[in-house]
Structure 1
Amino acid sequence: MTRLASASAALAHQRAWFRDLQQAAADGQDFALVNADAPQEILRAMDIPYVVNQWWASIVTAKQAAAQSLEGVAELGYPDDSRQYDVLALGSRSLEADRAPWGGLPKPRFVIAELSGDATGKVFEAWTDDPAIEFFAYERTVAIPPEGPWWDLVPHEWDRVFGRERIELMAEENRLLIEWLEERTGRRFEPARLEQVMDLINEQEELNRQTRDLIAAARPTPVRVSDTIPAVMIPQWHRGSEWARDAARELRDEVAALIADGSTVAQDERLRLMWVGRGLWGDTSLYRRFEEEHGAVFVWSMYLAIAADGYIRYGSDPIETLAARFVGITDLLYAPPLAPQWYVKEAKGHGVDGVVHLVADDVPGASFITLALQEAGIPVLEIRASNADPRTLDPGAIEAMMADFIGGLG
């Protein structure tokens, strides 16, 4: 089975976009490095180019440059065994030009992140060892128990999931970021432009929801997660653009066509698996190696699922609505009880026979997720390693563990 056309198109678009960004940076245009948990939509609305920290970390890892980048972190005098996924971009500054993935990340003018852990602020403050780089930090607030299934509530009734006080705080921080950027760039923020961005994102995520539901219902599965991940996540990093909305439609239409044609990933699908945790960017072929021998197919990753359930927001005030999108995005993925309930819902909806759970030491709430899945009667294999630190990964051992786990499911 060949790669999805929508995945290939997304990858080609990203390469062309990054070349343009490198040229713009070389010409003196400001751009931002922004963590995935901080609102990128404000930058989109103000036409300020940005790179998402986790996307760049995935490129560094996929190009086998993570170990050397972590060495660069240590050479700066910082810990290289903490928050590796967050810190890879910082460490990649030390790479020689011929070793740097995609020609290397240009120097950002701004870094933006939420203080989601004790070390996160220090990671991003470290960028300011260059006086030309400034850091804007969002505060981290505490999750509250939802008043029902959050995936049904968040599009319209976000207060019941996140709480009014949390949303108001982040909305005010959004306004502070806008003022901060206006002062430094000379650009003017236009609320109507943010409204357009938010509308396009809702269209994009509604299409992703349709794609998720198509894959959940399909028997056998028509697509690999190693294809859906780039086909979903590259447009996610361009949320609010017409290209991203159209890319989501192309993926939906391609998946629907494959289902209609009876396409299948494995000729003899016997087991359906769920991959919980971050992508294993350094070895995405792992998702495919059990298809022929075991008839085991990974049908789920968090990337399409969180796009489907976690990002849709409707509201009259775009700044507040944007706050409602981001104030609890990491809670939905990691914090109990929100995350465990969601993973169980998704596992049942996709009819999985087992879960492989990649647990990194900087991921909160992992044990609650595993426990909830097991209590729902779903077997779980935990792999304790960092997807961004090859020193914590033993590919042979992981493959053997997965082979034993899958063999036990059959």
Structure 2
Amino acid sequence: MSIDRLQSAVSATAYQKQWFREVQDRAAAGEPIAIVNADAPHEIFRALDIPYVVTQWWSSIIAAKGAGPGALAALDEQGLPDFSVQYDALPLGEQLLPEAERPWGGLPVPAFAVAERSGDVTQKIFEQWGSREGTETFLLSRTGADPLPADWWELVPEQWETAFGSDRIDLLQAEMEELIAWLEERTGRRLDRTVLSAIMDRANAQAEWNRRTRDLLARTRPSPVLVRDTMPAVMIPQWHRGTEWAVEAARSLYEEVRDRVSRSAAVCPGERRRLMWIGRGLWSDMDLYTRFHDTHGAVFVWSMYLAIAADGYARYGEDPLRALAGRFVGLTDLLYVPPWSSQWYVKEAQTHGVDGVVHLVADDTPGSGFITEALEDCGIPVLEIRANNADQRSSGAARIPERIAEFIEERL
């Protein structure tokens, strides 16, 4: 079946390629760049005009371009593990590949590697960056979550201090102050809090457009868009969060979806089953998300990327640095720590009217069993697949397409 792609997705991908070339040019001219994980406070780098590449995004490119197996093999040849937290490890291996095998010409050597200590393995991966010539590492603490009141998605934009607790925010804010001083010392630049405040305002506006898009799609039957399109259309602007381009990209996505809804467009006119994909995107096989349209009338209508962009990022407050700490101190909790995560996934499944859930569980995603149990308790069947989205050996061995087909036929 031929399906028109979202122009928002096409435009975002083209923009990202051009942006990455500019990052390479800036690095070649001697400017410092950073590699950061998704849970680091990106807005600090933006306010200091330090180009940054997000580990998980670059891993998705490595996997999509077929360079994942080579990157993991390169790690193994160095005596490093190739079987754990591959989503963080792939960029480390990509740097070791021959030039001809490096996607888009390869990631320049970063001056800074910054991550949250979300686990022992991630910490060790970023410490490896710091052991390489030309790169220094800065690690932020990962604090534990306390139970949150129900419906956190209504609480966190304005009442994030109550939601996450002042002690946790105090610690992250203090560490962010240290990070700012560390970067200022090494670059000779100074962070302007007014600039940071404007970035936070634009990031909030971006989140509001994403919420409008998510809410519109939740109530629309049949689905007018492909999940494989909303993933890049949302996530590429997320990596540019707080820029005017990102706000415009989020607005354009909403208007394009609204136009499709007004025309009663459907990616699968024979939609009979609505599926939810919990977990990271399977970047090496994006065709998976459309594979069951013709054979089963089954459409993936949800991924975490648009949903968390809608509910997880807006933070309003007078102090931009403290609001930024409030944005990142509990972001991982919202996706993975029950009951926060399980309540949210149930809410999203119900509002989107899904008939079943495919739950991709990696080795570093805690709380998966509680999420599955909560959905099943609400009468929503769940297929758990244990595999790593960034490792084709793992996803291939899991027989993902075959198991989804069996799930649809036998349980839906």
Match of 2:126 in 1: 124
User: How do residues 268-307 of structure 1 correspond to structure 2 at under 5 angstroms?
Assistant: 268-307=270-309
Looking at structure 2, the residues matched to 295 and 330 of structure 1 have their Cα atoms a distance apart, in angstroms, of: 33
Q: TM-score normalised to the size of structure 2?
A: 0.98
Match of 2:232 in 1: 230
Looking at structure 1, the residues matched to 190 and 66 of structure 2 have their Cα atoms a distance apart, in angstroms, of: 40
Looking at structure 1, the residues matched to 411 and 249 of structure 2 have their Cα atoms a distance apart, in angstroms, of: 36
Q: How many residues align?
A: 410
Letter in 2 for 1:208: N
Match of 1:217 in 2: 219
Report the CA distance between 1:148 and its aligned residue.
2.7
User: How do residues 303-314 of structure 1 correspond to structure 2 at under 5 angstroms?
Assistant: 303-314=305-316
SS of 1:272's equivalent in the other structure is strand
Looking at structure 1, the residues matched to 55 and 28 of structure 2 have their Cα atoms a distance apart, in angstroms, of: 20
8 Å CA contact retained: 2:32, 2:111:
yes
Looking at structure 2, the residues matched to 227 and 39 of structure 1 have their Cα atoms a distance apart, in angstroms, of: 26
Letter in 2 for 1:267: P
8 Å CA contact retained: 2:34, 2:113:
yes
Unpaired segments ≥5 residues, structure 1? none
Report the CA distance between 1:160 and its aligned residue.
2.5
CA deviation vs aligned residue, 1:263-302 (integer Å, no higher than 9, x gap): 0010111000000000000000000010112110000000
Report the CA distance between 1:46 and its aligned residue.
0.8
Q: Higher mean Cα deviation, 290-299 or 391-400? A: 391-400
SS of 2:19's equivalent in the other structure is helix
Q: Higher mean Cα deviation, 197-206 or 155-164? A: 155-164
Looking at structure 1, the residues matched to 73 and 294 of structure 2 have their Cα atoms a distance apart, in angstroms, of: 38
Looking at structure 2, the residues matched to 104 and 131 of structure 1 have their Cα atoms a distance apart, in angstroms, of: 17
Looking at structure 2, the residues matched to 175 and 131 of structure 1 have their Cα atoms a distance apart, in angstroms, of: 26
Looking at structure 2, the residues matched to 400 and 87 of structure 1 have their Cα atoms a distance apart, in angstroms, of: 28
**Residue 320 of structure 2 corresponds to residue 318 of structure 1:** yes
- Give aligned-pair identity as a percent: 58
Residue of 3, 11, 16 corresponding to 1:9: 11
8 Å CA contact retained: 1:70, 1:91:
yes
Looking at structure 1, the residues matched to 175 and 398 of structure 2 have their Cα atoms a distance apart, in angstroms, of: 46
**Residue 156 of structure 2 corresponds to residue 154 of structure 1:** yes
Report the CA distance between 1:62 and its aligned residue.
0.4
Letter in 1 for 2:391: D
Looking at structure 2, the residues matched to 185 and 293 of structure 1 have their Cα atoms a distance apart, in angstroms, of: 56
**Residue 199 of structure 2 corresponds to residue 197 of structure 1:** yes
Match of 1:383 in 2: 385
Looking at structure 2, the residues matched to 88 and 218 of structure 1 have their Cα atoms a distance apart, in angstroms, of: 37
Report the CA distance between 1:131 and its aligned residue.
3.5
Match of 2:72 in 1: 70
Match of 2:41 in 1: 39
Report the CA distance between 1:396 and its aligned residue.
8.2
CA deviation vs aligned residue, 1:210-266 (integer Å, no higher than 9, x gap): 000010000111001000000000000000100000000000000000000010010
| RMSD after superposition | 1.0
8 Å CA contact retained: 1:147, 1:160:
no
Letter in 2 for 1:380: V
Report the CA distance between 1:200 and its aligned residue.
0.3
Residue of 262, 265, 287 corresponding to 2:264: 262
Provide closer, same or farther for how the CA distance between residues 395 and 78 of structure 1 changes in structure 2, counting only shifts above 3 A: closer
Residue of 327, 352, 355 corresponding to 1:353: 355
8 Å CA contact retained: 1:287, 1:298:
yes
Q: Higher mean Cα deviation, 296-305 or 368-377? A: 368-377
SS of 2:399's equivalent in the other structure is helix
SS of 1:188's equivalent in the other structure is coil
Q: Higher mean Cα deviation, 325-334 or 76-85? A: 76-85
